[in-house]
Structure 1
Amino acid sequence: MKEMNGMSVNDLPQDIIVSKEDEELLKFIETTRPKIYVVGTGGSGCNTLTRMYQIGIEGVSFIGMNTDVRHLVKIKADKKILLGKKVTKGMGAGSCPKVGEEAAKESEGEIANALSEGTLVFVTCGLGGGTGTGSAAVIARKAKDNGALVVSVVTLPFTSEGRHRMDNALEGLERLRKNSDTTIVIPNDKLLSIAPDLPLNTAFKISDEVLAGSVKGIAELITKAGLVNLDMADLRTILSNAGCAVVGIGEASVEAKPESRAMIAVETALNSPLLDV
């Protein structure tokens, strides 16, 4: 687990005298700290999870779920769950969402236990295949049943992957949307519009980075101090039952004037092709 830099008495400067009352307040902060989980499900979701794990997101635990045991052992995560041991015997879902759904239902108890303490749960996958498309809605529903705020962050397949895969993705998205508070949708074709000449493997990596950046940006709103501080109650107000959402990406050059960089990044994000859905 990537531990959050929680505040304790030992973190305070030595010249500050902490009262017993403050010590009690700091202890209370520790006991009420939101528990944040990121669940990657299916091959694409677990690949994204590994990238997030390597990047590091403060205050978050990573859980990988898949029906393919060989892929599951290769990923990076704090916890791993093999879905549907009886249904798939660790051999994968064969690009069939129904198999992925049945596998997740078989493992509902294990999923619920893993997410039982979650305050904020992210579910990420690439829609269109079998495991992620079929299991994501089941996972989101179990997290919501436990009282968590559920934010799903998913990609739609490239057009080049075929009509059947896109149809699967759209059906899976509808099920996931009904079981999530907020669903962030990233169409992979829009990534190609940003850099159209990229090889497909590179495009998939960029897709992972966009997903990772989306989760990191939301999670660290409450796990890291900033100029404008948000707490879990703020996030729940904003994202609870919010439906579908999109993300825009923007940055400013180091050559830009320091006082202009934030505005340039915002303007670039607002003009991002990812917002044109």
Structure 2
Amino acid sequence: MKSIIQEAIATREERPPGGRGSPSADDAELAQLAETLKVHIRVVGCGGGGSNTINRCMEEGIQGAEMCALNTDAKHLLMIHASRKVLIGLRTTKGLGAGARPEVGEEAARENEAEIRQFLQGANLVFVTAGMGGGTGTGAAHVVARIAKEQGALTIGVVTLPFSGEGVARMEAALDGLERLRRICDTTIVIQNDKLLELVPRMPLDAAFKLADAVLMTGIKGLVEIVTRPGLVNLDY
């Protein structure tokens, strides 16, 4: 067994970089074909929490996906780094936010449905991320998911549920929004913020919110790279 392992290591060390010489005509043809078969991935962050996750994704430099942040709060959206930003519901909210009212967030998303549809056009895989419980994310997420499904994209929701300390009303709104999102998405990944506090119980609340953003980003990054990057075991889309 030892000799087999040593032989395998020696064989690997003898290989030139890249495993072989210059690419053949077949390689060029395969590369061209692979480009045409590329999976088009979009990530849409809805509301403040979702937009913060988009910020994290951009900072991390996730490759292979286009990022879009949607919000009714113009000032918050201005601070977000994304390849595409859409201020939704300008007529409805005047750029001042949804006031923690999901029905306003939903109406805002419907107001800008054409722009959302344009961004999602041609997508094969769409991630919809939001912090459930607020106004814009809770109300807009299922609208975005519906548009993605109508365009034939595999649609995945990646959301958080609020901390218990944020109040009963916010949790009820979050659960209602989550149920509406689940009815549309092919699958929905839910991160319970209270579970994060169980891992780090003495963490200040502002740091806990940042941790929730980081967890969402890590989940999206992992899922995107499973599809876009070759690994030891490849996953077919």
For 1:223-262, list aligned pairs within 5 A.
223-232=228-237
| 1:121 aligns to 2:93 (yes or no) | no
SS class of match (2:160): strand
Q: Secondary structure at the match of 1:174?
A: helix
1:169-197 C-alpha deviation (Å, 9 max, x unpaired): 00000000011111000110000000000
Distance 2:74 2:221 in 1: 27
Give the drift of 1:40.
0.6
Residue 147 and residue 199 in structure 1: after superposition, are their counterparts in 2 closer, same or farther (change >3 A)? same
What are the ranges of 5 or more consecutive residues in structure 2 without an aligned counterpart?
A: 1-17
3-state SS of 2:128 partner? strand
Shift of 1:25: 2.5
What is the CA distance between 1:28 and its match in structure 2? 1.7
Work out the CA distance in 1 between the residues paired with 2:117 and 2:129: 17
TM-score normalised to structure 1 length = 0.77
Going from structure 1 to structure 2, the CA distance change for 1:17 and 1:121 (only over 3 Å counts) comes to closer
- Partner amino acid, structure 1, of 2:66: S
Tell me which residue corresponds to 1:159.
164
Shift of 1:231: 2.2
The answer for the alignment partner of 2:221 in structure 1 is 216
What fraction of aligned residue pairs are identical, expressed as a percent?
53
Matches within 5 A, 1:1-277: 15-19=21-25, 21-232=26-237
In the other structure, the counterpart of 2:15 is: none
Alpha-carbon RMSD across the aligned residues, in angstroms, is 1.3
Structure 1 ranges of 4+ moved more than 4 A: none
**Structure 2 Cα separation of the partners of residues 111 and 183 of structure 1:** 20
Q: Which runs of 5+ in 1 are unaligned?
A: 1-11, 233-277
Q: 1:57 Cα shift?
A: 1.4
Q: Given residue 91 of structure 2, which amino acid in structure 1 is its aligned partner?
A: K
Higher radius of gyration, 1 or 2: 2
Matched residue pairs, number? 220
- Shift of the alpha carbon at 1:14? 8.8
1:22, distance to aligned residue in structure 2 (A): 3.5
Bigger relative contact order (CA 8 A; separation at least 6): 2
Q: How far apart in 2 are the matches of 1:98 and 1:28?
A: 45
Q: TM-score, normalised by structure 2?
A: 0.90
